[in-house]
Structure 1
Amino acid sequence: MFVADAIPGERVVARVTDVQHDRYWRAETLEVLRASADRRPHVWPEASVERAPEQRAGGAEFGHIRVDRQRDLKAEVLRDALARMGGVELDTPVRPVDPALALGASLDLGTGYRTRMRLHVAGDGTVGPYAARSHTVVPVASVPLAVPELARIAPIAERFPGARAVDLVAPSVGDPEVVVVTGERMPRAARPTIEERVGDRRFRLDRDGFWQVHRGAAATLTRAVQELVDADLFDPRAANLDLYGGVGLLAAAIGDRFGETVRITSVESDARATEHAGANLADWVGARAVTVRVDRFLDDLAAEAGNGALAADRARFRDATVVLDPPRSGAGRHVIERLAELAPRQLVYVACDPVALARDVGLLRERGYELVEVRAFDLFPNTHHVEAVARLTAIV
């Protein structure tokens, strides 16, 4: 049973809200009878167990747990998933963001880190987050997970009749913005852009495009990918790939580590992101960005590599390093099968869901890959989410 707003070992009064037959039940805590030593006052009063469940702000479901215990719980989930679905016994601690990269976020409280936040709008124009697992807008007096510059300008006391949502965006270059979302689709070429800085490098992207929400996340993942790639297995001339590449963050991480002669193709289905990736990767003569779904891109590569006349191309892929950062659902069986056919030397897999990662690790192990190392990072404090970066190498 999954009991929201409780901690393992506590005694609570709970109400069952969802029964998935013999798979699991969901329940919500109504009262805490015997509290855990790991319980603390919720960092977001509007999400506290003292409120009725339907009036608790969603998006900070671990906010009542001490941060170090949050990380332990996330590590337990990752370890269990890798054992059950990946067939690997591995104890991986969940690390906090390096204070030098956190840029003012509170590592002790897990607050002040979100550079992006969406507030929803109710029928009467009231703004706020949704209550957990519902579309009920909860009015709030604070947004403690937001970076301070967004918390200061969040229009939580205002009304926006007719709007669909209010987005808060604080890029690392330029001023924070409040964006009222009406539902009208803006022409692609007219979409506002912003810049994000990671170390000495800048990335251009659409204001509403994807970027990691934690202020230190992009730098953390850049460093992790750079460190996890085995330099002895890396060939800068091979057909290296950055799958689900977005605006080129991780392809640039590879280029910055291995030099301007690196050959790498960033693959992304979003055309605007690919346009930005092409410009963001212009420093590397061998870098390119293509707009296509990853599964279709790999289907085409596998078909070409199966042609006997292209033996040299097959060799280029066997020498390759592949970085992939799929959506929460993971890469999945089809993509894994295609990658295994191409047989790159090493894979660096960035995952935001431990179960999807473990499933894909299991599929890769069945196809001749070994899980060498996993690093996990607490990029979403006060939530159950955890980011992991894994390296797998082909078994020779």
Structure 2
Amino acid sequence: MNYFFDQHFHVMNIEHPNLLSFFASLDTGIPDLITSGALSPNYILTGKNLKGSLMLNRITNTLTTFEQPIGETLAVMEDDLEGKFTSHEEEAPKPDQPYIREGKMHMRSQSYDKLAMCPQLMDFSSNEISREGLYYPSKKTSRILKYAEDTLAGFDLYRKDHPEGLFEFFPFIGITPPTHSIEFIEELLETYVTKTHSRQGQFKEGKQKFYGVKFYPPLGYNPWPSDQKERDKVTLIYDFCTKYDVPIMTHCDDQGFRGISPKEAWKYTSPATYKPVLEAYPTLRIDFAHYGWQYNPLHKKPLTILTAAAAKVPDSPWFFELVELMHLYPNVYADFSFSGTNSDFYILLDNYIKTLDEMKAETVLSRSLFGSDFNVNLLKVESYTSYYRMFELSPFADENIHRFVQTNPMAYMGIVE
């Protein structure tokens, strides 16, 4: 199948996130929020976003996707690529023609039969929240089962309403090990994750339609915990993914939803934290989302920032940790999701690749994946289409664009007919 992959996006409704867990993570209140970097320039709040009613429109646009069933949101995404909506932002990137036209997906010089859509489910389950001064303690919650069922129902609704649609689905199931027993994790894997790479798996009866596992360290996932009980949980997952060649995606920028303190979240999210994992499981397939981008200036040394700015290359330490892992292990990948809301990201990445020797440049080019981070990206771009247009306008050659959307994700996912 001639696929165009969106390797990383989210569809959910207001029932699925755990806002209690997020607010409980702000142990020191507003100072903690500021220190975390959530208000850092170029993350959500930018000079452009703060103009007039633009930020309000962006927030409203984003919330709209939380106010409807998942299947309807998927239909909206496809309708957007078909050019069914009108842009209201004069400066929003706009394609010359809709990306989906004449029954195919088009990008640069290539056309594609189908879009391989890889929704990333986040496991918002949490342990009991109880602290001094809390009037109504929050009970332990397990949210991933309903989220998984709602997602599968969303696929069915999409197919019913769009029988000729181009979307095919290869979802990833979220797991936050500290919030579950090892028995629950084992049952979750056995119930929902397919053990084959067959494309036809998404059409068969039953629940085994998830093609990968999604980790989100800021929710409390430690890739290599010292506690043996917690270590057993994560090694169970790594063993399963190694045995059945199941891909893993892990969040890898210093922002996003949190269920723990910023310092813990940063420690768990750093690519370097995965070194003992990859030493023990060197063939594990891992996509580090967002290309290790860091927005918080506390993570960067002033001299590094100045040097990177002069060379017009990335200045995030995690970016370089991630690239190092690419060179050491055969199945380490990175995706463009959300980072691509800033067109400079593509320029900096392209400039960096040009500084490498031929072999190292080829490694990076062959491990990079296109992803949108819809619907979170709507806080930074007007639409799903706008994000695609920014990618289309990137400095990469047509052949590399094709690699990012098809060749590389096919290698990462290993999907067969």
Q: Same fold (TM over 0.5)?
A: no
TM-score by length of 2: 0.32
Comparing both structures, which one devotes a greater share of its residues to strand?
1
Comparing both structures, which one devotes a greater share of its residues to helix?
2
TM-score by length of 1: 0.34
Looking at both structures, which has the greater relative contact order when contacts are Cα pairs under 8 Å and sequence separation is at least 6?
2
Question: Considering only CA atoms, is the larger Rg found in Structure 1 or Structure 2?
Answer: 1
